[in-house]
Structure 1
Amino acid sequence: MKPSTSRSSATLLALAYLAFISLGLPDAVLGVAWPSMRGSFGLPHALLGLPLAVAATAYFISGMLAGRLMQWLGIGRLLAGSTALVAVCVLGYAASPSFVLIVVLAAPLGGFGSGAIDAALNTYAARNFSPKHMSWLHAAYAAGAMSGPVVMTAVLSGGASWRVGYAVVGCILAALALAFVPARRLWEAEPSTPHVVVDAPGGVGPLPLDEPPVGTLSALRSGRVWLQVAVFFFYTGIEVAAGQWSYTLLTEERGLGGTAAGTWVAAYWGGLLAGRLVLGFAVERVGQAVMVRVATLGVLIFAVLFAIPGLKVGVAALPLLSFALASIYPGLMAETPRRVGERMAPHAVGFQVSAATLGVAVVPSVAGLMSERFGLSAIGWVIACSALVLVVLHEWLVAVADRPA
């Protein structure tokens, strides 16, 4: 590799880490700001779900269109523009005179902002970065997702308004958007220059990107794409259902105190971050596909242990569950170009992001409905059954992965 190419690759890798942090930064801020925000507007607790639902719907739509957006704009322009859009929307939250405007801004914030960034970044990372960087990039997302609530908590603890917290987050995102603008052309390889995989095992290898992309409908006709979509649906459903329902399950069904339950829930999210950091060192020795297969089996085992009422090791299985989950999302994204083909990869990644959004909405909701009918213990079994489906779907995907895409 020429020195200039090496410098460009290192610059893009650093920008990719910043981009994943920016993607996670605004995601969890609303939950911390909500008590103060609803007090400002005189709202009931239940309306928290409204901007989340609007954002999720827009996220789903943008994921379905992400392949086309990347073809039109290129990843560099899409990243800079989408990050700028997210910054504007977050600053709009800070200045909003009414809750109605916040709901309206949730669509561009969650959809054509964050949703487009998510699909674009994962497509580029899967093509150009090694599996260990794919894992660490998603760890950077987790770090960003933790940083947003920390900023808002610090602002509120200092006696300032929730608007100040959003203003701070918006300014950080605006600065990142400005950083992405001068480098926007670096993301686009020249026609005569192949994309390269940074730190690939055995050296740097080219990925053939000289074939024309396929259309959205062609990608939707691929059975392999639909298998990937289904796997992502159940993966994110399990991750969020376990994270959102575990506190209620531990306190109201298993009798833990609030502090103890909160500690275990924090350990759950910490396990996800730690897993992505630690497994990044091992993935290239073990192999991405093998690691994800082992991880899905681990998810099933720990989900069943967590689901069994009265089992003393059940609570300890919670952070182990997230540790097992940690490698699956980046691993599946990294394998997407190989499994569906380079030409379909931009569309497939967008569909996967959309499916992940649906999983976040559906599986935790099903767990809640089942708990009303059968009791809170049903939540654990919904998670365990989803884990079983995840294993079956992934093994099915592995069985056809080596066929020509």
Structure 2
Amino acid sequence: MATWFLIIIYLSFISLGIPDALLGSAWPVMHRDIGASFGSAGLISMIVSVGTIISSLASGSIIKRLGTGKITLISCCLTAAALLGFSAAPSLAWLAVLAIPLGIGAGAVDSALNHYVASNYKAHHMSWLHCFWGLGAMMGPMIMSYFIASRNSWRDGYSTVSMIQWGLVIILLITLPLWSRVAKLHQASSEQKKRFDEHQNVEENGNSGLYQTDAKRSHPIHIPGVKFTLAAFLCYCGVEATVGLWGASYLVGAREITADTAASWVSLYYGGITLGRLITGFVTLKMNNRLLILIGQMTAIAGGIVLLLPLPDVCALIGMILIGLGLAPIYPGLIHETPARFGQENSARLIGYQMAVAYTGTTLLPPLFGLIASQVNVSLLPVMVLIFLILMMMSSEQVNRILKPRENEGSI
């Protein structure tokens, strides 16, 4: 039963990933068909992200009322309906309206599933969970590229993705009773583990137990290192979304690559994220999350430098794949570290905050670059990507520096 349950969680994360890269892949031809300006993709992205932020912040109370299974089902219904609407949208105004349920559908399920896996599964499960998101994000541009190249129709691309989402809705509806059964098993196991941990803390009376007590008494946002972690999330999701949304437009506008080829190259960027997370799931068995996060950040920065340099066009593809590979371990690694760094009792609320701040990055950075691209040039994409990758690495390393003295005390 537990294995089937994990497969359903993975399938749910595919549904989160599929819509994420569709808009950016279709936009080079889509904006002309609906009479929208080039930079208005940032507006649609912003509306989606605002909906996601709101539902992420409200996810804790919603999950308590409805449960993770029902939230996942409802969210998939919302995204499937919104994508079907996108395929028929006649104007930018319609896209703006449909972006609301698309964003709301993504936020609550993202927070719920991330918290569940971070609390109940090991690091490799978290990496593989986000690998399935990457699989969905890679499928989206591939589907869109096919329909643009073969039928010259971005609308068929959206309607096809919507049908895939409705198929997942049917699977979730059939398996809905499984969620409550598995939840009871995990709850019993969690209570047993909690009693054991309390007994160990009483026996050891160490610094780790004292830290957990202090963390319980203070608001989670005031725990040392939390604010820098939130900054890292903001930069990470800003970079990931900016490359996903504007990568195809950069390749078409700055590198003069055809729209269908650009869409397929963006799918390979998400392919880099997917493959990286698949590999990371195995590597976490031998290497800790923090080292993997640092290696990922350095790899992504190397990819940004390759993208920036005036090299042959194929190097732009290599740069995007390197950025994808580098980003792969960062997001799942940071989430999985949350209970260990800041206490199990704070993790649910903090992961909700992390999701909200992450989507704030998704909300602000892509439209900011859209404004820059409209006023200056789309060729500035690698510069902006590098700036935020460096800021992310600085924030992440600052968290490690803050927590190191506490960990040293705990090991004495």
User: TM-score, normalised to structure 2's length?
Assistant: 0.77
- Are positions 1:57 and 2:50 aligned together? yes
Distance 2:89 2:181 in 1: 36
Structure 1 residues 208 and 218: alpha-carbon distance in aligned structure 2, compared to 1, 3 A threshold = farther
The structure whose RCO (Cα within 8 Å, separation 6+) is larger is 2
Greater shift, 285-294 or 69-78, is seen at 69-78
1:4 counterpart residue number:
none
Amino acid at match of 1:398: N
Structure 1 residues 176 and 398: alpha-carbon distance in aligned structure 2, compared to 1, 3 A threshold = farther
- Are positions 1:130 and 2:122 aligned together? yes
1:281 shift after superposition: 1.6
Distance 2:186 2:270 in 1: 42
1:241 counterpart residue number:
242
- Are positions 1:86 and 2:79 aligned together? yes
1:233 shift after superposition: 0.7
1:201 counterpart residue number:
none
**Residue 4 of structure 2, aligned match among 6, 11, 20:** 11
| 1:65-104 → structure 2 map (5 Å cutoff) | 65-90=58-83, 103-104=96-97
- SS of 1:363's partner is helix
- Structure having the higher helix fraction is 2
- Are positions 1:185 and 2:180 aligned together? yes
**Residue 348 of structure 1, aligned match among 311, 333, 350:** 350
Q: Which blocks of at least 5 consecutive residues in structure 1 are unaligned?
A: 1-7, 197-204
Aligned 8 A contact 1:119 1:353 in 2? yes
**Residue 16 of structure 2, aligned match among 20, 23, 41:** 23
- SS of 1:27's partner is helix
Distance 2:226 2:367 in 1: 25
Structure 1 residues 222 and 77: alpha-carbon distance in aligned structure 2, compared to 1, 3 A threshold = farther
Aligned 8 A contact 1:152 1:165 in 2? no
Aligned 8 A contact 1:75 1:120 in 2? yes
1:294 counterpart residue number:
295
2:135 counterpart residue number:
143
1:97 shift after superposition: 9.0
| 1:207-356 → structure 2 map (5 Å cutoff) | 218-250=219-251, 252-253=253-254, 264-309=265-310, 315=316, 316-356=318-358
Greater shift, 314-323 or 243-252, is seen at 243-252
Distance 2:265 2:160 in 1: 27
Distance 2:268 2:63 in 1: 37
Structure 1 residues 103 and 255: alpha-carbon distance in aligned structure 2, compared to 1, 3 A threshold = closer
Distance 1:151 1:241 in 2: 20
Distance 1:154 1:105 in 2: 24
Amino acid at match of 1:146: M
2:381 counterpart residue number:
379
Distance 2:145 2:250 in 1: 25
Distance 1:58 1:355 in 2: 13
- SS of 2:220's partner is helix
Aligned residues: 386
Aligned 8 A contact 2:2 2:182 in 1? no
RMSD of aligned C-alpha atoms?
4.1
Aligned 8 A contact 1:64 1:351 in 2? yes
- Are positions 1:114 and 2:116 aligned together? no
Q: C-alpha offsets along residues 26-71 of structure 1, whole Å, 9 cap, x if unaligned?
A: 33445567767985xx543556555433221111111222233334
Amino acid at match of 2:132: A
1:345 shift after superposition: 1.4
Amino acid at match of 1:294: I
Greater shift, 130-139 or 372-381, is seen at 372-381
Distance 2:298 2:12 in 1: 31
- Are positions 1:175 and 2:170 aligned together? yes
Distance 1:378 1:27 in 2: 22
Greater shift, 93-102 or 137-146, is seen at 93-102
- SS of 1:183's partner is helix
Structure 1 residues 13 and 99: alpha-carbon distance in aligned structure 2, compared to 1, 3 A threshold = same
2:393 counterpart residue number:
391
Distance 2:229 2:367 in 1: 22
Amino acid at match of 1:269: Y
Distance 2:303 2:274 in 1: 17
Amino acid at match of 1:171: W
Distance 2:25 2:93 in 1: 19
Greater shift, 141-150 or 9-18, is seen at 141-150
Q: C-alpha offsets along residues 195-223 of structure 1, whole Å, 9 cap, x if unaligned?
A: 49xxxxxxxx9577999xx99x9334444
Distance 1:393 1:134 in 2: 22
Structure 1 residues 387 and 137: alpha-carbon distance in aligned structure 2, compared to 1, 3 A threshold = same
Aligned 8 A contact 1:305 1:313 in 2? no
Q: C-alpha offsets along residues 160-197 of structure 1, whole Å, 9 cap, x if unaligned?
A: 9648536523521321331341222035246861249x
Amino acid at match of 2:353: F
Distance 2:299 2:127 in 1: 18
Distance 1:152 1:262 in 2: 7
Distance 1:91 1:246 in 2: 24
Q: Which blocks of at least 5 consecutive residues in structure 2 are unaligned?
A: 199-214
